[in-house]
Amino acid sequence: MWTPKSLKRSAKSSIHFNYLRMVAMCIVIAFFAGEADDMLSIVRMNMWSVNPNAVVESQLQDTKEEAKKEHMVPERFHEKTNSQIVREFLIQLGYEGEETPQSAATKGVFAGIFNSITETGSVTFGILNMVNQALFRDSIGAYFIIILGGIINVLYRTLVGNILVVGKNRFFLETVTYEHAPLTRVLFVYKVKRTKKTAFTMLMKNVFQTLWMFTIVGGIIKYYSYYMIPYIIAENPDLPWKEVFRLSKQMTKGKKWKIFLFDLSFLGWEILSLLTARLLSVFLVVPYRNAAKAELYRQLREETIRMKRPGYRGLNDRYLFCEPETIPEETPINKIDDELRMVEYPTRLFTIPETEWRDWIKTDYDRSYRPLSYVLLFFAFAMIGWFWEVALHIIQTGEIVNRGVLYGPWLPIYGFGGVLILLLMRRFANRPILTFFLIIIVCGVLEYATAWVLETFLKTKWWDYSGFFLNLHGRICAEGLFVFGIGGCAILYVGAPILDELFQRVPRKIRMVTAIVLVTCFLTDTAYSLLCQPNTGEGVTEGSAVQEEKIETVIHITEI
């Protein structure tokens, strides 16, 4: 007979082998599925405490007051902003119950998104509000944003959030028996192509649970009746939703009070985590609780099968909690350690075939590129980077400027970065998570080195990340590197293969002539910019020494 203490003891063994992956999984789910709201608030709180700035709010307030006086608009029309209306609406729904501090970040598109999120207390509503302010000058009504945000929230929760929660449960279920559970298991439902069925079952769970909450007592009872639904789906996503509900009720029958005490046993850990600014929750309590829940499912599952309760045949994943010696010899198990823990779940023996990564990418990313293709890809990436930078500046300031050191519509750093990713990352392409972080390192080194060279030899800054979260000498920052990581993966897995396919359809002579013309123009532009006058000016350079010299020259001429 299981007890909360025995479940926690077993969970410690799983944590020993999968600790870092468990922490990473819980953080990913907190951000993208919104299940662990406590963890999301922890991360937010720690980000706010990095660089507090009490002046920003007062400056904004002063600006508002000046605007009121200038336009002589009655005070009552300025009492509430769209963000405040949205936030008050969410508080009334119980979504956010406390005031949210403002971020210290004042630069960049993501800073605007983050500030708007912290202002409204919701990721979805915050992003919508930021788009409203940036593109529509806050002209769209707050209640329209509330309705649109509500629809987006429901769709996202149904098609993404709930699916990732089931994938997270699959990950933790595998950690019970296996030494290594890959983080990609979070995409388990998508890979077995059971997205619609899983989404519908989880939606029905949410609907019924919400309706039962109106009865108060019934809501608590049904919460524990439906407790095992995400775990049952994680084992067998083929089950009809009514069968999943029946199984969960059978597994928790007569155990609800015991499960409640199991949940209550983590209360001390939660109180203790408050003394560490909730960091203990991030790095221990949340992974610990999920590992223990997986152990709870195993115990209830074994009891249900042993007693042959209605629907027990649906629990048909024989290798989920299988002892190592019962695995067939042909199973690709690399090794078994002294504690008889298998290395990884034998996915090829699962009841539903999984779609391989490369099958749902639909591009041949493990391809060899010819020298001519590298040249054309360089310019493609450089031009895409230029359009990206120009578009960001338009969103931020509403002005069109020619970004970069050169005068042509290209940014060499993007071109070199894209080519380096193709040259260095192909060998790691089958490990997308590792590839993502390696791309961040490569792009970080390239951007920092480029900034240093420009500042050292041209005495000018073309970008300055001072004031951004986790920046290094203003040359690189975490925000930018994260975007480069995503963009680099998009280039490696999708963009470059598609572009190369398009290039191959063009006759070789035309490709060759195009490459020669582009290279000639690029070298001419580079020579002129470096030897004569680089592209500088407002919106192009940050703290430009060249600009300062120009200003001093103009002042000197004026005085003469």
Tens-digit pLDDT profile for residues 370-391: 999 999 999 999 999 999 888 8
Helix (H, G, I), strand (E, B) or coil at 251: helix
Helices (H) and strands (E) in the chain, counts: 25, 2
List phi, psi (to 5°) of 545: -70, -35
Any domain includes 342: yes
Any domain includes 33: no
> Residue 223 above 80 pLDDT?
yes
Distances from the Cα of 478 to the Cα of 105, 432, 472, 492, 513, angstroms: 12, 19, 9, 21, 40
> Residue 51 above 80 pLDDT?
no
> Residue 265 above 90 pLDDT?
yes
Whether residue 322 is found in the same domain as residue 453: no
Residue (of 283, 306, 302) closest to 294 by Cα position: 302
Any domain includes 367: no
Whether residue 412 is found in the same domain as residue 540: yes
Any domain includes 29: no
Q: 332: pLDDT confidence band, cut at 50, 70 and 90?
A: very low
**DSSP classification of residue 476:** E
Any domain includes 293: yes
Residue (of 389, 390, 404) closest to 536 by Cα position: 404
> Residue 481 above 60 pLDDT?
yes
Whether residue 185 is found in the same domain as residue 120: no
Whether residue 384 is found in the same domain as residue 318: no
Which of 12-16, 325-329, 375-379, 466-470 is modeled with the greatest confidence?
A: 375-379
Residue (of 475, 482, 483, 477) closest to 451 by Cα position: 475
Residue with tokens 């930018």: 480
Residue with tokens 């925000």: 479
Higher-pLDDT residue of 45, 249: 249
What integer is the mean pLDDT of 323-347? 55
- Burial classification of residue 540, based on how many CB atoms lie within 10 Å of its CB (0-12 exposed, 13-18 middle, 19 or more buried): buried
Whether residue 425 is found in the same domain as residue 540: yes
Whether residue 450 is found in the same domain as residue 552: yes
* Separation between Cα atoms, residue 547 and residue 336, nearest integer Å: 66
Q: 7: pLDDT confidence band, cut at 50, 70 and 90?
A: very high
The pLDDT score that the predictor gives to residue 55 is: 34
Any domain includes 365: no
Whether residue 416 is found in the same domain as residue 306: no
The pLDDT score that the predictor gives to residue 72 is: 45
Does residue 86 contact residue 125 with C-beta atoms inside 8 Å?
A: yes
**Total length of the chain:** 560
- Burial classification of residue 297, based on how many CB atoms lie within 10 Å of its CB (0-12 exposed, 13-18 middle, 19 or more buried): buried
> Residue 361 above 70 pLDDT?
no
User: What range does the domain containing 402 cover?
Assistant: 373-559
> Residue 61 above 50 pLDDT?
no
Interval 177-217: pLDDT, tens: 888 888 889 999 999 999 999 999 999 999 999 899 888 78
Does residue 278 contact residue 44 with C-beta atoms inside 8 Å?
A: no
Q: 450: pLDDT confidence band, cut at 50, 70 and 90?
A: very high
Whether residue 176 is found in the same domain as residue 304: yes
Helix (H, G, I), strand (E, B) or coil at 75: helix
> Residue 121 above 60 pLDDT?
no
* Separation between Cα atoms, residue 280 and residue 268, nearest integer Å: 12
Any domain includes 184: yes
Chain-centroid distance of CA 516 in Å reads 40
> Within the chain, what is the greatest distance between any pair of CA atoms?
100
Interval 306-322: pLDDT, tens: 999 998 999 999 888 87
**Number of separate domains in the chain:** 3
Angle ∠(180,349,308) on CA atoms, nearest 5: 100
Any domain includes 116: yes
What integer is the mean pLDDT of 353-361? 62
* Separation between Cα atoms, residue 363 and residue 349, nearest integer Å: 26
What integer is the mean pLDDT of 229-235? 96
Query: Which residues are CB-contacts of 433 (< 8 A; sequence separation ≥ 6)?
Result: 183, 184
The pLDDT score that the predictor gives to residue 299 is: 94
Query: Which residues are CB-contacts of 290 (< 8 A; sequence separation ≥ 6)?
Result: 22, 26, 168, 172
The pLDDT score that the predictor gives to residue 43 is: 39
Whether residue 529 is found in the same domain as residue 391: yes
Q: 334: pLDDT confidence band, cut at 50, 70 and 90?
A: very low
CA dihedral of residues 386, 390, 391, 394 (deg, nearest 10) = 180
Whether residue 407 is found in the same domain as residue 528: yes
* Helix ranges, 157-240 (H): 162-175, 188-191, 195-213, 217-225, 229-235
Does residue 244 contact residue 200 with C-beta atoms inside 8 Å?
A: no
Amino acid letter, residue 211: L
Q: 82: pLDDT confidence band, cut at 50, 70 and 90?
A: low
Chain-centroid distance of CA 422 in Å reads 23
> Residue 97 above 80 pLDDT?
no
Whether residue 548 is found in the same domain as residue 521: yes
Pick the range with the lowest mean pLDDT from 317-331, 357-371, 384-398, 522-536: 317-331
Q: 339: pLDDT confidence band, cut at 50, 70 and 90?
A: very low
Does residue 511 contact residue 431 with C-beta atoms inside 8 Å?
A: no
Residue (of 409, 419, 421, 413) closest to 383 by Cα position: 409
What does the mean pLDDT of the chain come to? 78
Residue 105 token pair: 């970040």
Whether residue 441 is found in the same domain as residue 330: no
Neighbouring C-beta atoms of residue 537, cutoff 10 Å: 12
Residue with tokens 């209550």: 264
Pick the range with the lowest mean pLDDT from 29-38, 64-73, 128-137: 64-73
The pLDDT score that the predictor gives to residue 181 is: 87
Domain boundary among 359, 390, 423: 359
